[in-house]
Structure 1
Amino acid sequence: GLSTFRVELEETSTILKKATPRSLVILDELGRGTATFDGMAIAYGALRHLVMETRCLSLFATHYHALAREFEHANPFVALFHMACAVDEDTRAVTFLYRFLPGACSRSHGIHVARLAGLAPPV
Protein backbone atom coordinates (compact mmCIF):
# COMPACT_ATOMS: atom_id res chain seq x y z
CA GLY A 1 0.00 0.00 0.00
CA LEU A 2 0.74 3.64 -0.02
CA SER A 3 2.23 5.55 2.88
CA THR A 4 0.03 7.86 4.91
CA PHE A 5 1.97 10.81 3.50
CA ARG A 6 1.44 9.67 -0.10
CA VAL A 7 -2.30 9.27 0.52
CA GLU A 8 -2.40 12.76 2.07
CA LEU A 9 -0.70 14.24 -1.00
CA GLU A 10 -2.97 12.43 -3.44
CA GLU A 11 -6.04 13.65 -1.54
CA THR A 12 -4.63 17.19 -1.47
CA SER A 13 -3.95 17.04 -5.20
CA THR A 14 -7.56 16.05 -5.85
CA ILE A 15 -8.84 18.82 -3.57
CA LEU A 16 -6.72 21.48 -5.29
CA LYS A 17 -7.76 20.31 -8.76
CA LYS A 18 -11.48 20.12 -8.00
CA ALA A 19 -11.96 23.12 -5.69
CA THR A 20 -13.89 26.08 -7.08
CA PRO A 21 -14.57 29.55 -5.68
CA ARG A 22 -17.78 28.07 -4.22
CA SER A 23 -15.95 25.29 -2.33
CA LEU A 24 -15.20 25.00 1.35
CA VAL A 25 -11.76 23.42 1.77
CA ILE A 26 -10.55 22.19 5.15
CA LEU A 27 -6.93 21.06 5.44
CA ASP A 28 -5.46 20.02 8.78
CA GLU A 29 -1.70 19.92 9.28
CA LEU A 30 -0.81 19.46 5.62
CA GLY A 31 2.80 18.32 5.24
CA ARG A 32 3.22 16.94 8.75
CA GLY A 33 4.24 13.51 7.47
CA THR A 34 7.60 14.55 6.05
CA ALA A 35 10.65 16.68 6.86
CA THR A 36 9.81 20.15 8.17
CA PHE A 37 11.29 22.01 5.19
CA ASP A 38 9.44 19.86 2.65
CA GLY A 39 6.22 19.87 4.64
CA MET A 40 6.24 23.63 4.94
CA ALA A 41 6.93 24.02 1.22
CA ILE A 42 3.99 21.73 0.39
CA ALA A 43 1.70 23.55 2.83
CA TYR A 44 2.82 26.93 1.45
CA GLY A 45 2.12 25.88 -2.14
CA ALA A 46 -1.30 24.49 -1.32
CA LEU A 47 -2.32 27.53 0.72
CA ARG A 48 -1.02 29.93 -1.92
CA HIS A 49 -3.03 28.06 -4.57
CA LEU A 50 -6.21 28.26 -2.49
CA VAL A 51 -5.72 31.97 -1.76
CA MET A 52 -4.44 33.20 -5.12
CA GLU A 53 -5.94 30.80 -7.67
CA THR A 54 -9.04 29.09 -6.32
CA ARG A 55 -10.10 31.88 -3.95
CA CYS A 56 -12.43 29.64 -2.01
CA LEU A 57 -13.37 29.68 1.65
CA SER A 58 -10.75 27.59 3.42
CA LEU A 59 -9.85 26.50 6.91
CA PHE A 60 -6.13 25.72 6.91
CA ALA A 61 -4.78 24.47 10.25
CA THR A 62 -1.00 24.42 10.67
CA HIS A 63 1.74 24.44 13.27
CA TYR A 64 4.16 26.03 10.79
CA HIS A 65 4.51 29.44 12.45
CA ALA A 66 6.57 30.77 9.55
CA LEU A 67 3.74 29.91 7.17
CA ALA A 68 1.29 31.89 9.29
CA ARG A 69 3.67 34.87 9.35
CA GLU A 70 4.10 34.66 5.56
CA PHE A 71 0.37 34.93 4.90
CA GLU A 72 -0.56 37.20 7.81
CA HIS A 73 -0.49 40.42 5.79
CA ALA A 74 -0.10 39.01 2.28
CA ASN A 75 -3.74 39.09 1.26
CA PRO A 76 -6.81 40.92 2.58
CA PHE A 77 -8.81 37.69 2.25
CA VAL A 78 -6.58 35.82 4.73
CA ALA A 79 -7.37 35.99 8.44
CA LEU A 80 -5.35 34.20 11.09
CA PHE A 81 -6.90 32.59 14.15
CA HIS A 82 -5.53 30.38 16.88
CA MET A 83 -6.88 28.17 19.63
CA ALA A 84 -6.90 30.05 22.93
CA CYS A 85 -5.11 28.82 26.01
CA ALA A 86 -4.17 30.18 29.42
CA VAL A 87 -0.64 29.77 30.77
CA ASP A 88 0.13 30.02 34.47
CA GLU A 89 3.50 31.77 34.40
CA ASP A 90 4.49 30.45 37.84
CA THR A 91 3.79 26.75 37.23
CA ARG A 92 3.96 26.88 33.39
CA ALA A 93 0.70 24.90 33.37
CA VAL A 94 -1.29 25.30 30.16
CA THR A 95 -5.08 25.19 30.08
CA PHE A 96 -6.60 24.78 26.62
CA LEU A 97 -9.73 26.92 26.28
CA TYR A 98 -11.05 25.50 22.97
CA ARG A 99 -11.97 28.91 21.52
CA PHE A 100 -10.84 30.58 18.31
CA LEU A 101 -9.16 33.95 18.80
CA PRO A 102 -7.98 36.31 16.06
CA GLY A 103 -4.28 36.44 15.22
CA ALA A 104 -1.44 33.95 15.03
CA CYS A 105 -0.47 31.90 18.04
CA SER A 106 2.54 33.44 19.75
CA ARG A 107 3.76 30.26 21.47
CA SER A 108 4.05 26.55 20.91
CA HIS A 109 2.92 24.14 23.61
CA GLY A 110 4.29 20.87 22.25
CA ILE A 111 6.38 20.11 25.35
CA HIS A 112 3.32 20.58 27.56
CA VAL A 113 1.26 18.26 25.36
CA ALA A 114 4.08 15.69 25.53
CA ARG A 115 3.83 15.80 29.34
CA LEU A 116 0.04 15.41 29.14
CA ALA A 117 0.60 12.35 26.96
CA GLY A 118 2.79 10.82 29.65
CA LEU A 119 6.22 11.19 28.06
CA ALA A 120 8.94 11.18 30.71
CA PRO A 121 10.86 14.49 31.10
CA PRO A 122 14.13 13.15 29.59
CA VAL A 123 12.24 12.42 26.36
Structure 2
Amino acid sequence: MEVPAPLDAPPDCHQVSEVLNRVGDKWTMQVVVALCDRPRRFNELKRQVGGISQQMLTRTLKMLERDGMVERTVYPTIPPQVEYTLTALGQSLSEPVRQLARWARANLATIHDSRARYDSNG
Protein backbone atom coordinates (compact mmCIF):
# COMPACT_ATOMS: atom_id res chain seq x y z
CA MET A 1 0.00 0.00 0.00
CA GLU A 2 1.44 3.34 -1.06
CA VAL A 3 1.45 6.19 1.40
CA PRO A 4 0.41 9.51 -0.15
CA ALA A 5 2.93 12.34 -0.02
CA PRO A 6 2.23 15.11 2.50
CA LEU A 7 0.43 18.13 1.08
CA ASP A 8 3.51 20.34 1.48
CA ALA A 9 5.86 17.82 -0.21
CA PRO A 10 7.68 18.90 -3.39
CA PRO A 11 5.69 18.03 -6.52
CA ASP A 12 8.15 15.31 -7.61
CA CYS A 13 8.27 13.61 -4.18
CA HIS A 14 6.01 10.75 -5.31
CA GLN A 15 8.16 10.11 -8.37
CA VAL A 16 11.37 10.17 -6.33
CA SER A 17 9.83 7.73 -3.84
CA GLU A 18 8.86 5.42 -6.69
CA VAL A 19 12.44 5.35 -8.00
CA LEU A 20 13.90 4.87 -4.51
CA ASN A 21 11.51 1.98 -3.85
CA ARG A 22 12.70 0.33 -7.06
CA VAL A 23 16.43 0.81 -6.57
CA GLY A 24 16.21 0.07 -2.84
CA ASP A 25 14.61 -3.32 -3.41
CA LYS A 26 16.86 -6.10 -2.12
CA TRP A 27 16.89 -8.00 -5.41
CA THR A 28 17.58 -4.89 -7.47
CA MET A 29 20.52 -4.00 -5.27
CA GLN A 30 22.01 -7.49 -5.49
CA VAL A 31 21.59 -7.68 -9.28
CA VAL A 32 23.23 -4.27 -9.73
CA VAL A 33 26.18 -5.35 -7.56
CA ALA A 34 26.48 -8.63 -9.48
CA LEU A 35 26.60 -6.74 -12.79
CA CYS A 36 28.86 -3.89 -11.72
CA ASP A 37 32.13 -5.49 -12.80
CA ARG A 38 31.11 -7.23 -16.03
CA PRO A 39 28.21 -8.56 -18.13
CA ARG A 40 26.67 -11.84 -17.03
CA ARG A 41 24.35 -14.46 -18.42
CA PHE A 42 21.07 -15.29 -16.68
CA ASN A 43 22.16 -18.49 -14.91
CA GLU A 44 25.41 -16.90 -13.79
CA LEU A 45 23.39 -14.04 -12.29
CA LYS A 46 21.06 -16.51 -10.60
CA ARG A 47 24.04 -18.25 -8.97
CA GLN A 48 25.59 -14.91 -7.99
CA VAL A 49 22.39 -13.59 -6.37
CA GLY A 50 21.80 -16.30 -3.79
CA GLY A 51 18.21 -17.16 -2.95
CA ILE A 52 16.55 -15.42 -5.88
CA SER A 53 14.00 -17.45 -7.83
CA GLN A 54 14.09 -17.62 -11.61
CA GLN A 55 10.79 -15.71 -11.75
CA MET A 56 12.01 -12.93 -9.45
CA LEU A 57 15.30 -12.58 -11.34
CA THR A 58 13.40 -12.33 -14.63
CA ARG A 59 11.05 -9.71 -13.16
CA THR A 60 13.93 -7.71 -11.65
CA LEU A 61 15.92 -7.73 -14.89
CA LYS A 62 12.87 -6.63 -16.89
CA MET A 63 12.21 -3.73 -14.49
CA LEU A 64 15.86 -2.67 -14.64
CA GLU A 65 15.82 -2.88 -18.43
CA ARG A 66 12.60 -0.86 -18.57
CA ASP A 67 14.16 1.80 -16.34
CA GLY A 68 17.23 1.98 -18.59
CA MET A 69 19.67 0.55 -16.05
CA VAL A 70 20.30 -2.84 -17.68
CA GLU A 71 20.84 -3.74 -21.30
CA ARG A 72 19.87 -7.17 -22.56
CA THR A 73 21.81 -8.55 -25.52
CA VAL A 74 20.66 -11.67 -27.39
CA TYR A 75 23.33 -13.46 -29.41
CA PRO A 76 22.15 -15.38 -32.50
CA THR A 77 23.38 -18.80 -31.42
CA ILE A 78 21.53 -22.06 -30.97
CA PRO A 79 20.23 -21.95 -28.33
CA PRO A 80 20.24 -18.15 -28.11
CA GLN A 81 22.62 -16.72 -25.52
CA VAL A 82 21.43 -13.73 -23.52
CA GLU A 83 23.74 -11.43 -21.63
CA TYR A 84 22.91 -8.62 -19.23
CA THR A 85 25.07 -5.58 -18.58
CA LEU A 86 24.66 -2.32 -16.71
CA THR A 87 24.10 0.78 -18.81
CA ALA A 88 25.80 4.07 -17.89
CA LEU A 89 22.76 4.83 -15.72
CA GLY A 90 23.06 1.44 -14.00
CA GLN A 91 26.79 1.97 -13.46
CA SER A 92 26.04 5.33 -11.84
CA LEU A 93 23.73 3.50 -9.41
CA SER A 94 26.23 0.74 -8.66
CA GLU A 95 28.62 2.88 -6.59
CA PRO A 96 26.06 4.14 -4.03
CA VAL A 97 24.63 0.60 -3.84
CA ARG A 98 28.10 -0.85 -3.17
CA GLN A 99 28.74 1.84 -0.53
CA LEU A 100 25.48 0.94 1.18
CA ALA A 101 26.42 -2.77 1.07
CA ARG A 102 29.84 -1.97 2.59
CA TRP A 103 28.13 0.04 5.35
CA ALA A 104 25.75 -2.87 6.05
CA ARG A 105 28.62 -5.38 6.27
CA ALA A 106 30.67 -3.07 8.50
CA ASN A 107 27.74 -2.59 10.90
CA LEU A 108 26.17 -6.07 10.92
CA ALA A 109 27.57 -7.06 14.32
CA THR A 110 26.48 -3.80 15.93
CA ILE A 111 22.98 -4.12 14.49
CA HIS A 112 22.68 -7.75 15.62
CA ASP A 113 23.86 -6.79 19.13
CA SER A 114 21.34 -3.94 19.26
CA ARG A 115 18.52 -6.26 18.17
CA ALA A 116 19.48 -8.83 20.77
CA ARG A 117 19.52 -6.18 23.55
CA TYR A 118 16.20 -4.76 22.40
CA ASP A 119 14.57 -8.22 22.15
CA SER A 120 15.85 -9.27 25.59
CA ASN A 121 14.31 -6.18 27.17
CA GLY A 122 10.92 -7.41 26.11
Do both proteins adopt the same fold according to a TM-score greater than 0.5, normalized to the shorter chain? no
* Higher RCO structure (Cα 8 Å, ≥6 apart): 2
TM-score normalised per structure 1: 0.31
Larger strand fraction of residues:
1
Looking at CA atoms only, which structure, 1 or 2, has the larger radius of gyration?
2
